[in-house]
Amino acid sequence: MEANDLNKSGEEKELNSLNTPENTESENNNSVENQLETTSDLTTEQKETIADTPESSSEESTATAEETSTDGESTDTEDEKPVLDKVDLTALSREELVKRLKYITKNFELHEIKDEVDEIKSIFYKLYNEEVEVLKKNFVESGELEENFAAPIDALELEIKDLIHEFKQRKFELIKKIEEEKEKNLSAKNEVIEAIKNLVNRQESLNETFNEFRSLQQRFHEIGPIPQNKVRDTWDTYNLHIENFYNYVKINKELRDLDLKKNLELKTDLCEKAEKLIDDPLVVNSFKTLQKYHDRWREIGPVPKEVKDELWERFKAATTVINQKHQAYFEGLKDQLKENLKLKTDLCEKAEAILKEEAHSPKEWEEKSKKLINLQQTWKTIGFAPKKDNNTIYERFRSACDKFFEEKRTFFKDYKNEQQHHLVEKTKLCEKAEAMKDSTDWKKTTDEFIKIQKQWKEIGPVPRRQSDAIWHRFRKACDAFFDNKSKFFNKVDESQDDNLKAKEAIIDELKNFKNSSDNEETFKLLQDYQRKFSEIGHVPFKDKDRINQDFRNEINKHFDNLNMDEYHKNVQKFRNRLENMKNSDHQDDKLNQERHKLLNRLKQLENDITVWENNIGFFAKSKSSASLIKDFEHKIENGKRNIKLLQEKIDMLDHMEE
């Protein structure tokens, strides 16, 4: 019979070498433990974190996680099944994580929540361990020994342990239930095989027996999955008794040939489909599809004996080629995995280098962020690394990214606080500017406005949403003062031109003035010129220094020609000089400098006179020192005269300052 021939031909031996499921039940027979125990990777938290998790090819967003409200309360009615919403678990606190776990384990099936349960557990213990580390640090810093530290009992940790234990217990019971169901299915299939076996002993009509045979076949295929280790033996036994049944009932040749012909068409179609898979560029997909074709091949049943071997060889040839391509693909994949590891290691090094770069401004931080995000985008384009390295390299890259964005958040938090401080300082300057904007003390207020404008530039930026408003407020006060000043001095400019003409007229008079023989009279006239020149108001700024210098030169000529001692000439020249200082810029600074210079000279002369007087006392005992004594006495006399002159100049300065 064909089943026996199949075994003898070595077809079954070839099927054993395919590394594929043994029948259509194979996909359903994948271990429930594997389905439930697959590890879910941690989700990324913010724009700054990476996607490409080790166990999944799905890409997760790098966008900054926003606060997600999840109170764990179902809003569904009792008749409606709740929908498992997507929640950013990294944004939740430990209390919210426990609440979320309690909610999903209560309302959803195990296969729906297994990944989220693993993720909740991972994130919860990450937060818990961070808190314990803080407690330990504080404990050690308080002076205690680290080995004496013991973490306090945490109610949330006890609760999440109970929830996870309950989840695992449910999972264990589900696995147990599925395995028990498979054992029941195995018993049911064995009962069907036994019934087919017993058909050969039936006394009913051939038609009734054949109909029952078909019914048993249908029932066999409808029974669910059985334990994986029983699949091959069950199918072998089933096919054996199918062929025994055909032999026993000696079904008429036409019906048998029709059945064999139908099987031939189905298996020929499988050969053609398998041959098409050879050219499919998706090698892994082709390989998986081929396994389904082999499962179907076993289910179809026998074909005419004369074409059986030829048909099997055709199907086996296509299988061999696809297996070879699959093996070559995975050999190449190993090299690619190694190359991926090298590329990802390089990205880790670059990310760690970016982390070490210093940044002191928002612009510098944004530039660093762009570089890191570009690395994250590149990471997404690289496939997996070797399995033993994949998690490690991923954690290294993620750690660098997490640390970077944590430092960035800290910087911008401090930066915002600093901006708030800047806002307070600039608000004070606005208030100060507003208080001065109506002042008419033009020089003093102008200096003060220049001072606070300089302070404004030195303060630094304020929060962007208040930047324009605070600047316009400050600018408005400044503009108000300088507009008023401009209007005032536009009117003053006209009178300044008249003042310039008046002062030039006095200088022309001085040029034509002739000293009289009466010194007292000439002296009074010159003083009168000084008084009139001083009483005339301001002249245009560009002419101020020139006109003052011209006047001083002319009047000093007349003082020099007076028939009076040098002392009084010197006093008058100094008085004239003070008048020029009085009308100059930075008057106070110049007067202070002049006073400081006179005081230094006065102090030096007093010291010199003391030394000279001591020298006279020293030389008085010597008869040959008369000339030296006379010289020192002359120096002392001149020094006292100069002290008197300096003292009078200082008095004149004091009088002007008063």
Whose tokens are 């003070």? That residue is 578
Residue 592 has pLDDT above 60, yes or no: yes
Give the per-residue pLDDT at 621.
Answer: 58
What would the mean pLDDT of 224-249 be, rounded to a whole number? 86
Q: How confident is the model at residue 57 (pLDDT cuts 50, 70, 90)?
A: very low
Query: Looking at residue 442, what is its pLDDT?
Result: 85
Contact 51, 61 (CB under 8 A): yes
Written in H, E and C, the secondary structure of 303-361 is CCHHHHHHHHHHHHHHHHHHHHHHHHHHHHHHHHHHHHHHHHHHHHHHHHHHHHCCCCC
pLDDT number for residue 546: 87
Question: Are residues 179 and 227 in contact, defined by beta-carbon separation less than 8 angstroms?
Answer: yes
pLDDT at 219 over 70: yes
| Owner of token pair 């300052």 | 657
pLDDT, tens digit (0-9, with 9 covering 90-100), for 428-444: 989 999 999 899 888 89
Q: Please say whether the beta carbons of 249 and 207 come within 8 A.
A: no
**Phi, psi angle pair for 426, to nearest 5°:** -70, -30
* Cα–Cα distance for residue pair 120/43, rounded to 1 Å: 10
* Residue 224: both structure tokens together: 């669910």
Q: What is the average pLDDT across 516-542?
A: 77
Q: What is the pLDDT of residue 36?
A: 32
Over residues 90-109, the pLDDT tens digits come to 889 989 999 999 998 988 88
Residue 134 has a CB neighbour count (10 Å cut-off) of 10
Q: How far is CA 383 from CA 56, 348, 371, 649, in A?
A: 11, 15, 21, 91
CA 72 to chain centroid: 30
pTM flag (> 0.85): no
pLDDT beyond 70 at 649: yes
| Position 334, amino acid | K
DSSP 24: T
Encoded amino acid at 287, one letter: F
The per-residue pLDDT of the chain, averaged, comes to: 78
**What integer is the mean pLDDT of 236-257?**
76
How far is residue 74's CA from residue 58's CA, in Å, rounded to a whole number?
A: 28
**For residue 610, how many C-alpha atoms fall within 13 Å in the half-sphere facing its CB?**
6
What is the model's pLDDT at position 91?
87
Residue with tokens 């076993």: 298
Does position 394 have pLDDT exceeding 90, yes or no?
Answer: yes
pLDDT tens for each residue of 275-314 = 998 888 888 899 999 999 999 898 888 888 899 999 999 9
**pLDDT value at residue 385:** 87
Statement: residue 450 has pLDDT above 90: yes
User: Which has the minimum average pLDDT: 20-29, 249-258, 420-429, 484-493?
Assistant: 20-29
Nearest Cα neighbor of 530 from 544, 551, 515, 505 is: 551
| Average confidence (pLDDT) over 436-459 | 89
Which is nearest to 60 in space by CA: 70, 71, 50, 74?
50
Q: Residues 478, 449: contact at Cβ < 8 Å?
A: yes
- Whether 16 has a pLDDT exceeding 60, the answer reads no
Closest CA to 571 of 483, 653, 448: 653
Spatial distance between the Cα atoms of 576 and 587, rounded to a whole number of angstroms: 15
Given a cut of 60, whether residue 354 has pLDDT beyond it is yes
Residue 240 above 70 pLDDT?
yes
* Burial environment of residue 637 by CB neighbours within 10 A (0 to 12, 13 to 18, 19 or more): exposed
Q: Output the pLDDT for position 53.
A: 29
Whether 167 and 118 have beta carbons less than 8 Å apart is answered as no
For residue 71, pLDDT beyond 70: no
- CA–CA dist 340, 387 (Å, integer): 11
Per-residue pLDDT at 49 exceeds 60: no
Could you report how far apart the first and last alpha carbons of the chain are, in Å? 137
- Check pLDDT > 90 for residue 510: no
pLDDT band at 129 (very low <50, low <70, confident <90, very high): very high
Q: Is 360 or 428 the better-scoring residue by pLDDT?
A: 428
Instruction: Give the C-alpha distances (Å, rounded to integers) separating 250 from 24, 28, 195, 583.
Output: 30, 36, 18, 139
Left if phi > 0, otherwise alpha if psi is -120 to 50, otherwise beta: which for 318?
Answer: alpha
Residue 118: partners with Cβ closer than 8 Å, 6 or more residues away: 39, 40
Q: What's the farthest any 2 CA atoms get from each other in the chain?
A: 176
Question: How much is the average pLDDT of 379-398?
Answer: 89
Residues in the chain: 658
What dihedral angle (degrees, nearest 10) is formed by the CA atoms of 547, 549, 553, 556?
A: 110
Per-residue confidence band for 42, with pLDDT thresholds at 50, 70 and 90 = very low
- pLDDT of 197 reads 85
**Lowest-confidence region among 122-136, 252-266, 613-627:** 613-627
Residue 398 pLDDT > 70: yes
Q: How far, in Å, CA of 503 to CA of 579, rounded?
A: 14
Predicted local confidence at residue 29, as pLDDT? 37
For residues 254-261, give the mean pLDDT.
Answer: 77
